Amino acid sequence: MRIIRILNNNVVSSLDEKNNEIVVMGKGIGFQKKQGEEIEDAKIEKIFRMPHTNASQFERLVEEMPYEQVKVADEIIGYAKDTLGKKLNKNIYITLTDHLNFALERQKQGITFQNALLWEIERFYNIEFQIGCKAIEIIKERLNVELTKDEAGFFALHIVNAEMDIGDMHQAMEMPGIIKDILNIVKYTFGIEIDENTLSYERFITHLKFFVQRAVTNQCYPTDDEEFVKSQINKFPQAYGCAVRIKEYMQKKMKYDTGEEELMYLTMHISRIVRRKL
């Protein structure tokens, strides 16, 4: 591989075997080098392959950031992938890396942000939140900077965003609050407290995560068998009435039209979690 552009002493751009632009990182990989020179294989620590539309944005980001911060961001993302056991949208290399840089700058200036969604994130996206807490540990170990639990919540949201491939951080930030509102609709409709230590509750939360994801990305279930859907809905009239209230809320909040099959699944989940309370 040859150097196309030297971003800084530790990061250069190049082309892979398919002529796609890549970013190559390694200690001193660009030091005293010139455009067109061969990249020393022994110095390569990481190769980033970004979508063409985001490549220049990522290059600008790593060009300006300290090398150790970029390495830490990459370590956090790698830990998230391993923990979740799935691929993440590559934009996380931009969004999380940029957030890390921003958080460290704020910390240096003595500025702290309170995460208003921290309670909801910890409750509804606990795995991602634990990854966020691990990110705080990694930052402390590698950079000797202690960030707050609020920042763990922000890192968790970036992971949720990349995990669910939402593409818009503002939409990802809306999701925990929407899930909380839906649970409150169920509580107030039936006048109950939901037992959170049940499998039915866990399944409902999992369903709500994907339901809200479909809403923010404006996707919906196709209704393949209307008769079956109606038969299931008719079995649980009270739960269906609650599902309709959720539909009305989603229409008002998100301008999202909840289809009949989606209503059926909501109805079935609601019936399970309130069954023992009625």
Residues comprising the chain, all counted: 278
11-15 sheet: strands from edge to edge? 5-8, 11-15, 21-25, 46-48
Q: How far apart are CA 77 and CA 80, in angstroms?
A: 5
Give pLDDT tens digits for 208-221: 998 998 888 888 76
Mean pLDDT, residues 36-42 taken together: 91
- Please choose, from the candidates 134, 19, 142, the residue with its C-alpha nearest in 3D space to the C-alpha of residue 77: 134
Give pLDDT tens digits for 45-76: 999 988 877 888 899 999 999 999 999 999 99
Q: Is the pLDDT of residue 222 over 70?
A: no
Task: Specify which of 116-120, 161-165, 246-250 reaches the highest per-range mean pLDDT.
Answer: 246-250
In 3-state terms, what secondary structure has residue 15? strand
- In this prediction, residue 167 carries a pLDDT of 66
Q: How far apart are CA 67 and CA 74, in angstroms?
A: 11
Mean pLDDT, residues 168-177 taken together: 85
- In this prediction, residue 170 carries a pLDDT of 81
Q: Is the pLDDT of residue 174 over 60?
A: yes
The tokens for 238 are 């009270």
Distance of CA 247 to the CA centre of its chain: 24
Superfamily for 175-277? PRD domain (1.10.1790.10)
Choice among 86-90, 142-146, 163-167, 253-257 with the minimum mean pLDDT = 163-167
Is-same-fold flag (65-165; 175-277)? yes
Q: Is the pLDDT of residue 126 over 80?
A: yes
The tokens for 116 are 């208003």
Mean pLDDT, residues 221-231 taken together: 71
Mean pLDDT, residues 7-16 taken together: 92
- In this prediction, residue 277 carries a pLDDT of 56
Indicate if the alpha-carbon torsion angle 132, 136, 141, 142 is positive or negative.
positive
Indicate if the alpha-carbon torsion angle 139, 141, 146, 152 is positive or negative.
positive
Q: Is the pLDDT of residue 278 over 60?
A: no
Looking at CATH, the fold of the domain delimited by 65-165 is given as PTS-regulatory domain, PRD (1.10.1790)
- In this prediction, residue 61 carries a pLDDT of 92
Q: Is the pLDDT of residue 7 over 90?
A: yes
Q: What percent of the chain has pLDDT over 90?
A: 67
Long-range Cβ pairs for the range 30-39 (8 Å, 24+): 30/3, 30/6, 33/3, 33/6, 34/3, 34/6, 35/3, 35/4, 35/5, 35/6, 36/2, 36/3, 37/2, 37/3, 38/1, 38/2, 38/3, 39/1, 39/2, 39/3, 39/12, 39/14
Domain spans of the chain, in order of start: 1-51, 65-165, 175-277
- The distance between the two most distant Cα atoms of the chain, rounded to a whole number of Å, is 74
Average pLDDT across the chain, whole number: 90
Q: If you ran DSSP here, which 8-state letter would residue 2 be given? A: B
- In this prediction, residue 227 carries a pLDDT of 78
Q: Are 169 and 157 in contact (CB under 8 A)?
A: yes
- In this prediction, residue 67 carries a pLDDT of 93
pTM of the model: 0.82
Mean pLDDT, residues 200-207 taken together: 92
Looking at CATH, the fold of the domain delimited by 1-51 is given as Transcription Regulation, Sacy; Chain A (2.30.24)
